[in-house]
Structure 1
Amino acid sequence: MRRDTFLHSLAALAVGGALPLSAQAAQAIKMMLPANPGGGWDTTGRALGKALQDAGVASSVTYDNKGGAAGAIGLAQFVNGSKGDPNALMVMGAVMLGGIITGKPPVNLSQATPLARLTSEYNVFVLPANSPYKTMADVIAQLKKDPGSIKWGGGSRGSTEHIAAAMIARAVGVDPAKINYVAFRGGGEAISAILGGNVTVGGSGFSEFAEYINTGKMKPIAVTSGQRLAGSSVPTLKEQGIDVEIGNWRGVYGAPGISRAQRDALIASLEKAVKSASWAEAMKKNDWTSAWLAGDAFASFVDNEFASLRATMVKSGMV
């Protein structure tokens, strides 16, 4: 067989997903980030893109930020615009499930292809440095007096911090339907609102607030973990007599309609990326915990998580 004929045949097989990953050229990846710049999905997606390139499985990575509706706007664009594309990825996580439950968007996550869960982390609640409140106990005391006077700021409706705020209210005897929750389209907007004193309490993943906590611009008052995070002095909600624990996780989906071989090739690429030095550096920098789970096991996890989150949100008066 002539060399040019062989190369054309090889390329055709790679496009169809019929070749193992090792025989395919590095791909030009298109990454959907269904949030505005500055938040957890944006940070995760860009760190993953760099890791894919450093691992040699992506020749280039382009990013598309589409914030709003807890990721539903980006999800809709991804589902409708990436059908059958083996080079398309979308970052997502627990927040998207919550947003789908509360917002009931026309698109469904089941239309896309589950690939892998990457990380998990817990949320932290913070006060701006000049807040008149000093502790979570101060916030709860005011919440009981006048629920609407406490503005909780965080991600979109249905985010883990929104669910946590509703669970906190319920745990302390306040009607969750009365909480004053201010949703932001991305982490950058939420951070600006907290630093500007436009919300009373801010909630997000610890990594998103770490810089401001370390410089004293935000005061952490509680984490949503079952026990204190390693190396942290921030008390848990449970330590403070509030029986609430809720975690966050982030993962990656592929486009609708890709073949199983293409799905498996993407999973293999992701697995190489998360073993790279670049990813290890991002994990350490952002205090993420590895939570690798791929393929059918990840798909089952998402289904179970969706049911569990819905039950929690119904109990907290959010649905």
Structure 2
Amino acid sequence: MNFRKALLPLAVLAAMVAGSAQAQVNVMLPANPGGGWDSTGRQAFQAMNDAGIYTGAVNFTNKGGAGGTIGLAEFQGAYTGKPDALAVFGAITVGSIILNKSPIDLADFRPVARLTAEYLVIAVADSSPHQSLQDLVEAMKADPGATPIGGGSAGGVDHIALALLAQAADIPVSDLNYIPQASGAETVTGIVNGTLAAGISGISEFQQFAEQGRIRILGITSAERKEGLDVPTFKEAGYDIEIANWRGILGSPDMPEDNYQTWVDRFTQLNESEAWAKVLETQGWDQFFIAGEEFGSFIQEENERIGAILKEAGLAE
């Protein structure tokens, strides 16, 4: 009997099993289900699958809290040095690390790709007496404490945008009654049931509820009006504010170099795909792509920029 021939199929089978075991990517979504980071991660991998770029298994983990720092800390502890381990994050994380003095350092992770930018909108209940952004600002100015406004994590881009609005309207930032919410869906619930006078979040988290007539959007933080959304900009209302929430992908700390480059290439292909273009259109996200070390430089610049804004607004030391 030729044992070499007999053992060959077993060796091939073992290689196939090992290969299939590795055909899974672990993705940390450091927020509760239903929010912008959750949607970004799930939609990106669905589009990647639709485009045939990556069709393997995806293991998503949701771990919300503290602007993504809780989820990223768990991700760092579990996946440092491991391949095929990614995390979604964004501008909110940068501010939360600074505000909460978190030990998380984004420079420890591998910068894979910046994917999207999304402008923020501020909304009230459809039954609210505030018919314009100016109306809401006047209520904030008259009695900030009695005008609770919900949004993302403290120190995140929602909070920063509201602080900039307050500054522009000569309202002390320290007087704002800002109430962080676990998700955009929770913010909408608070607006509708009256526990919040208003809420601020990304377009994608509010637009469907506005279309259903549950909330009314008063303003958007873009430089110009968003196509398909009949909403004035903050600038039109007299407040010179333009700010966007960006989202991207990090690789695990010490991710093997070849594996890291594979994911940079995959997300580059995703950005150029028709499947992703459809997601951007449907979600109302703007394409905002850079990858690899260029993205790493951007993260460092954002850390400095957002830190300066937080200090100027009196939100950080």
Q: TM-score by structure 1 length?
A: 0.91
Contact 1:128 1:218 in 2 (8 A): yes
What is the aligned counterpart of 1:144 among 129, 141, 144? 141
What corresponds to 2:39 in structure 1? Answer: 43
| 1: CA distance, partners of 2:227 / 2:290 | 23
Between stretches 62-71 and 230-239, larger displacement belongs to 230-239
1:156 aligns with 2:189: no
Deviations 1:51-85 (CA, angstroms, capped at 9, x unpaired): 23232424111111100100011010111111122
Following TM superposition, by how much is the alpha carbon of 1:26 offset from its aligned partner in structure 2, in angstroms?
A: 8.1
Matches within 5 A, 1:29-108: 29-54=25-50, 55-108=52-105
Q: What is the identity percentage for the equivalent residue pairs of Structure 1 and Structure 2? A: 37
What is the aligned counterpart of 1:203 among 192, 195, 200? 200
Matches within 5 A, 1:105-124: 105-124=102-121
| 2: CA distance, partners of 1:6 / 1:84 | 28
Structure 1 residue runs of 5 or longer lacking an equivalent are: 16-23
1:290 aligns with 2:287: yes
What corresponds to 2:251 in structure 1? Answer: 254
Alpha carbon RMSD of aligned pairs, Å? 2.3
| 2: CA distance, partners of 1:10 / 1:26 | 11
Other structure's SS at 1:240 match: coil
Give the number of aligned pairs: 310
What corresponds to 1:20 in structure 2? Answer: none
Q: Looking at CA atoms only, which structure, 1 or 2, has the larger radius of gyration? A: 2
What corresponds to 2:268 in structure 1? Answer: 271
| 1: CA distance, partners of 2:187 / 2:306 | 23
| 2: CA distance, partners of 1:207 / 1:267 | 26
Other structure's SS at 2:153 match: coil
Other structure's SS at 2:236 match: helix
| 2: CA distance, partners of 1:6 / 1:309 | 54
| 2: CA distance, partners of 1:246 / 1:209 | 17
Following TM superposition, by how much is the alpha carbon of 1:242 offset from its aligned partner in structure 2, in angstroms?
A: 1.1
Other structure's SS at 1:238 match: coil
| 1: CA distance, partners of 2:111 / 2:265 | 13
Which amino acid is the alignment partner of residue 186 of structure 1? S
1:299 aligns with 2:300: no
Deviations 1:178-215 (CA, angstroms, capped at 9, x unpaired): 10001012222222212222111111111111111112
What is the aligned counterpart of 1:313 among 304, 310, 314? 310
What corresponds to 1:234 in structure 2? Answer: 231
Contact 1:119 1:249 in 2 (8 A): yes
What is the aligned counterpart of 1:125 among 99, 122, 125? 122
Other structure's SS at 2:208 match: helix
| 2: CA distance, partners of 1:176 / 1:102 | 15
Deviations 1:11-45 (CA, angstroms, capped at 9, x unpaired): 8xx99xxxxxxxx9983111110000111001111
Other structure's SS at 1:283 match: helix
| 2: CA distance, partners of 1:234 / 1:158 | 25
| 1: CA distance, partners of 2:266 / 2:70 | 26
Other structure's SS at 2:170 match: coil
Following TM superposition, by how much is the alpha carbon of 1:134 offset from its aligned partner in structure 2, in angstroms?
A: 1.5
Which amino acid is the alignment partner of residue 290 of structure 1? Q
Structure 2 residue runs of 5 or longer lacking an equivalent are: none
Contact 1:71 1:92 in 2 (8 A): yes
Deviations 1:143-200 (CA, angstroms, capped at 9, x unpaired): 1111212111111111211101111111111110110001012222222212222111
Which amino acid is the alignment partner of residue 298 of structure 2? F
| 1: CA distance, partners of 2:157 / 2:226 | 17
Following TM superposition, by how much is the alpha carbon of 1:269 offset from its aligned partner in structure 2, in angstroms?
A: 1.8
Contact 2:30 2:71 in 1 (8 A): yes
Which amino acid is the alignment partner of residue 25 of structure 2? I
The 1:82–1:282 alpha-carbon spacing in structure 2 relative to 1, beyond 3 Å, is same
Other structure's SS at 1:237 match: coil
| 2: CA distance, partners of 1:6 / 1:258 | 28
Other structure's SS at 1:219 match: strand
Which amino acid is the alignment partner of residue 292 of structure 1? F
Following TM superposition, by how much is the alpha carbon of 1:8 offset from its aligned partner in structure 2, in angstroms?
A: 9.2
Contact 1:91 1:252 in 2 (8 A): yes
